[in-house]
Chains A and B, each alone.
Chain A
Amino acid sequence: MRPLTVDGSTVVLGIETSCDETAASIVMGGSDVLSSVVATSIEQHVPFGGVVPEIASRAHVELIVPVIARAIEEAGIAETRIDAVAATFGPGLIGALLVGVSAAKALALVWDVPFVGVNHLEAHLYAGLLEDPDLEFPLVVLLVSGGHTMLVEMRGPGRYHLLGETIDDAAGEAFDKVARFLGLGYPGGPAIDREAQFGDPEAIAFPRAIPDSLDFSFSGVKTSVMNHVRKHPDVVTADVAASFQTAIVGSLVTKARRAARQVGAKGLALGGGVAANSLLRDRWVEACEADGIRAFVHSRAMCTDNAAMIAAAGWHRLGSDGPTSLEAGAYPGLRLSMD
């Protein structure tokens, strides 16, 4: 393998296949996104109201090489310019992860460049650095998706401290379950976001946060939505959606602010699929303005799963830890290593 200094001209191919998105991206120097291609099998999962792992894995194996080829083509670079191949190796669906990891290692082998295994959660934290390379630490990041809800203090690149996380459902999971119960379809986040535009957010007072803790719980609010609708069958669905969304967003924002105060954060960043929610984005910015700290709200494309963030995180990991062994596998329950 040719010797490698990781610097501003280092080009990384990132590959992401942890859930239903098949994505590839070329990023230079950890922040210059030359291309970012995302294909999704979401439509195939809609009839089931959730991601079916086997269907996702089947889609990945069909899409992976065409998506990578397109990312390279759109970046307008020669394959010989690629200095490393990074892929998500956890957490996520094992069969899905293995497709991306296998393709990445095969490419690294042929091109004789390093392979870098990337933690998907860490990549979501780096998504912010892609759009705001001059982040100031410490920073509190709320990572909120279908699989995760966690508040992380980012003390510097690669240095994290867990402040709080969900004790039951992830926020995105609560959106999916409530949307399904209300007959709004799947995926639940966008469905509730849409329906809520037509409802009164104050119509129903659903329970919110666990007091005095930075941990989250969403199964209580989900149950009260179901109980309320069963007790009041004539309730306006849009009001339920709007009130439910307000309760979830209220809880997320309240705890994020408290966390920021607790660690003296310079800013509050929002990442993960649920960060695409309109109300959450608006409330986030308002809260940061009120508290006099910077709000980092990534573009929707950078919130949801993508491979640019994998390439960026891969660039950082390559610089700090060097290449990952070709003997690495995929780790569905991979955790973020915390201080």
Chain B
Amino acid sequence: MITLGIETATHVVSVALGGDDGVLGMVEINQGRRHAETLAPAIEFVCRHAQVAIGDIAAIGVDVGPGLFTGMRVGIASARAMAHALQVPVVGVSSLDLLAHPLRHIPKVIAGVIDARKGEIFYAFYLPTTDGVQRVTEPRVGSVDDFNADVMARGQDVLAVGDGAFRYRDELGVGVEVADLAHPSVASLVTLARARVLRSDLEPLRAEDVQPMYLRAPDAQINWSTR
């Protein structure tokens, strides 16, 4: 079963194809922040060079955030449209899960932390399990102080990963170690999406459930001029 992963929820655009034995091909563009311009050509490129016909894609995984609203929407609109046209299942996975999952072999509490701008971060805590990580708190948006308070309350050392952790590394409290700068992993995305599709007999997947995880109400700024 071939799974396409689409990750555009941060400033990175990444695309991967996963097969039964792992990743078949991957593209990651770390600069430019041109999600809409890059995504479709990246999918075309990965498919061509991994020698996968688009029609052979059997499932699609997409990062649903939290992160950059515009990027999330580019990814989700693309993933849902492709899934509709291919008539295949589509799975939404959180960006925070995709930060924590690559660190699953580290026996420590992991915090996925994404820069939410406006002085805030999106974050959630994870515990390693035998076959991955388990999210133990709901993703939330808050200040670095909120995060530090949550760490204190847990009373355990934490490994924080993501551009939010990296940006605020000097302000994170004691007991917080900061991992090297990392972005949501598209390799983890195809792995997790595939696993979810294989479970879909028990827990059916619905395309309309694949929605952006905003965690913030819209800025109700009036746009008088749309010129």
Please give the residue numbers on chain A whose beta carbons come within 8 Å of chain B beta carbons, in ascending order: 18-19, 48-55, 57-58, 60-62, 64-66, 68-69, 79, 91-95, 98-112, 115, 146-148, 170, 173, 176-177, 326-330, 333
Q: Are B226 and A93 in contact (CB under 8 A)?
A: yes
B37's partner among A107, A111, A148, A329 (CB-CB below 8 A) is A329
A57–B34 alpha-carbon span in the complex (Å): 17
Q: Distance (Å) between the CB of B61 and the closest chain A CB?
A: 14
> Is B74's CB under 8 angstroms from A79's CB?
no
Residues of A within 8 A of B221 (CB): 52-54
A329 to B211, CA, bound (A): 22
Q: In the docked arrangement, what's the CA distance between A65 and B82, Å?
A: 10
| Contact between A95 and B37, CB atoms less than 8 A apart | no
Listed A/B pairs (10) with beta-carbon separation below 8 Å: A51-B226, A53-B221, A65-B77, A79-B85, A92-B226, A94-B70, A98-B70, A103-B78, A107-B85, A147-B226
Residue of B nearest to A326 (CB): B40
Given the interface pairs A58-B218, A68-B84, A94-B70, the reply to whether A146 lies near B77 with Cβ below 8 Å is no
Interface contact B218-A102, CB-CB below 8 Å: no
How long is the Cα–Cα vector from A87 to B41 in the complex, in angstroms? 17
**Chain B residue with minimal CB distance to A51?**
B223
Decide: B70 and A49 in contact? CB cutoff 8 A: no
Q: Which residues on the A side are within 8 Å of B27 (C-beta)?
A: none
Q: Are B85 and A52 in contact (CB under 8 A)?
A: no
Flag B70-104 by CB within 8 Å of A: 1 or 0 each: 10011111111110111000000000000000000
B34: chain A residues at CB < 8 Å are 329
* B223 lies within 8 A of A102 (CB): no
- Contact partners of B51 in chain A: CB under 8 A: none
Across the A-B interface, the 10 shortest Cβ-Cβ residue pairs: A54-B218, A106-B81, A147-B226, A110-B85, A103-B81, A105-B40, A50-B222, A106-B78, A326-B40, A102-B77
State whether A106 touches B211 (Cβ < 8 A). no
Chain A CB within 8 A of B227 CB? yes
| Residues on B with beta carbons closer than 8 Å to the beta carbon of A64 | 77, 80-81
Interface size class of B (residues with CB under 8 A): 35 or more
Closest to B57 in A: A110
Question: Interface on chain B toward A: helix, strand, loop, or mixed SS?
Answer: helix
A148 touches B44 (CB 8 A): no
Pairwise interchain contact B226-A61, C-beta atoms closer than 8 A:
no
Known: A54-B219, A61-B76, A109-B40. 18 other contacts (CB 8 A): A48-B220, A52-B223, A54-B218, A55-B220, A61-B77, A98-B70, A98-B77, A102-B36, A102-B74, A106-B79, A106-B82, A106-B85, A110-B86, A326-B41, A327-B37, A327-B38, A329-B37, A333-B227
Find B40's partner among A19, A106, A330 (CB 8 Å cutoff).
A106
Question: Which residues on B sit within 8 Å (CB–CB) of A146?
Answer: 226
Provided the pairs A52-B220, A102-B36 are in contact, do residues A65 and B78 lie with their beta carbons within 8 angstroms? no
The reply on B16 being an interface residue by CB < 8 A is no
Question: How near does chain B come to A295, taking the closest CB pair, in angstroms?
Answer: 27
Q: Are B227 and A147 in contact (CB-based, < 8 A)?
A: yes
Residues of chain B with a CB closer than 8 A to A94's CB: 70
CB pair A48–B222 under 8 Å, yes or no, is: yes
Within 8 A of A (CB), among B201-223: 207-208, 211-212, 214, 218-223
Residues of chain B within 8 A of A98, CB atoms compared: 35-36, 70, 73-74, 77
Contacts of B85 in A (CB 8 A): 79, 106-107, 110-111
A-facing mask of B27-52, CB < 8 A → 1, else 0?
00000001111111101100000000
- Chain A residues with Cβ under 8 A from B38's Cβ? 327
Query: Is the CB–CB distance between A52 and B218 below 8 Å?
Result: yes
Smallest distance from the beta carbon of B210 to chain A beta carbons, Å?
10
Interface residues of B in 96-134 (CB under 8 A from A): none
Q: Which residue of B lies closest to A98 (CB)?
A: B36
Q: Write out the residue numbers on chain B whose beta carbons fall within 8 Å of the beta carbon of A93.
A: 223, 226
A100-B220 Cα distance, complex, nearest whole Å:
22
Tell me whether B226 and A99 are in contact (CB under 8 A): no
Interchain CB contact under 8 A, B211 and A62: yes
With beta carbons under 8 angstroms apart, the residue of B73, B77, B220, B225 that contacts A106 is B77
CB closest residue in chain A, given B39: A102
CA distance A103 to B41 in the complex (A): 14
* Min CB–CB distance B166 → chain A (angstroms): 26
Q: Shortest CB–CB separation between residue B211 and chain A, in angstroms?
A: 7
Note all chain A residues with C-beta closer than 8 A to B44: 109, 326
Q: CB-CB < 8 A to A101: which residues of B?
A: 36
Q: How far is the CB of A155 from chain B (nearest CB, A)?
A: 24
Q: Is the CB of B69 within 8 A of A170?
A: no
Chain A, Cβ-Cβ closest to B222? A50
Judge if B58 is at the interface, Cβ distance under 8 Å.
Answer: no
CB–CB B214/A65 < 8 A: no
